[in-house]
Every structure is written in C-alpha cells, then in structure tokens.
C-alpha cells in the first residue's frame, strides 16, 4: 500500500493551513488583550478549531483526490491515508490549543470548554470556588492532560 505519501501530503497541507489559522487566532487574541486590557476574557478556541477541522477536511479531500486518482492510487487507499492523518492533526491541534489557552490565561481570562464543564467538579472554578478567581484553571498535569483529551475527542 502507498499510504505514506497520502499521509505526508495531508499533514503538510494541514501544517500550512494550521499556521495561518493559529497566526490569525493569536493576532485576534493579542488585539483583544491590548484593546480591552486586563478585564478581557475569551472563550471558544475549541469551537474555532472544530470549524477549522471541518473546513480543512472538506476542502483537502477534493483537491488531493483528483491528483492521486490520476496517478493510479485507488480510492480506498486515498481514503484510508486521509483518515489516518486526521487523528494526528486533531491531537496536535488539541495540544496546541491547550498550550495557547494556558499562555493567554497568564494575561487575561481564557476559559476552555473543559474548565467550564468540569471546573466545579475538580475545584478549578465554577460555583464551588467563586471567592478565588473562578476561571483560572490550574497548571497541574492532570488538568492539562484532561483538557487535551477533551479537545481531542
């Protein structure tokens, strides 16, 4: 099987698209921090990543499909290679989203969906911890791993 070229090509295409996505996203986040100041808060990075993955998956399939089919690669091999590359992209994006979220939490409140849903259960925030800053997630490895796993799934 010739899966390796399909996987590598899809990962290269995803890499260039992700660079632009994260460059624009970080520029918007910095702009919000500069304009609003310390009282700023931002959420929704996971949803932006999900929308990016949907658009990327839909747009990358057609362009590469015609190239590989004309080169003699079967449809099954192309589809399998494409499907095998998307979990790698999703895991990388989940890790990068969590790192960017934790970085921007140093400057202003940037809450992920994981902290909003499970924050009160783990003592991270929610109603159980309103006296302290309720949306400052801890930097422990359990919380970071949970956020990465939540975004990956």
Q: Tens digits of per-residue pLDDT, 33-64?
A: 788 776 667 777 788 888 898 888 888 777 77
The CA distances from residue 107 to 34, 66, 100, 111, 124, in Å, are: 10, 46, 12, 12, 18
Cα-to-chain-centroid distance, residue 124: 21
Phi, psi of 43 (to 5 degrees): -140, 170
Percentage of the chain exceeding pLDDT 90: 5
pLDDT, tens only, 84-114? 888 899 889 888 988 888 888 777 777 777 7
Phi, psi at residue 114, to the nearest 5°? -60, -45
Is 143 in contact with 106 (CB distance < 8 Å)? no
- Give pTM, 2 decimals: 0.75
């Amino acid at each position: 099987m010739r899966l390796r070229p399909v996987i590598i090509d899809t990962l290269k295409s995803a890499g260039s698209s992700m660079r632009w996505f994260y460059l624009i996203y970080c520029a918007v986040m910095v702009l919000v921090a500069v304009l609003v100041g310390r009282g700023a808060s931002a959420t929704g990075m996971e949803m932006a990543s999900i929308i990016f993955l949907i658009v990327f998956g839909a747009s990358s399939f057609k362009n590469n499909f015609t190239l590989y089919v004309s080169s003699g690669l079967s449809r099954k091999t192309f589809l399998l290679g494409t499907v095998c590359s998307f979990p790698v992209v999703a895991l990388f994006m989940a890790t990068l989203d969590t790192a960017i979220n934790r970085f921007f939490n140093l400057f202003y409140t940037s809450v992920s969906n994981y902290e909003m849903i499970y924050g009160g259960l783990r003592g991270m925030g929610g109603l159980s911890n309103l006296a302290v800053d309720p949306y400052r997630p801890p930097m422990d490895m359990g919380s970071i791993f949970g956020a990465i796993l939540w975004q990956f799934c």
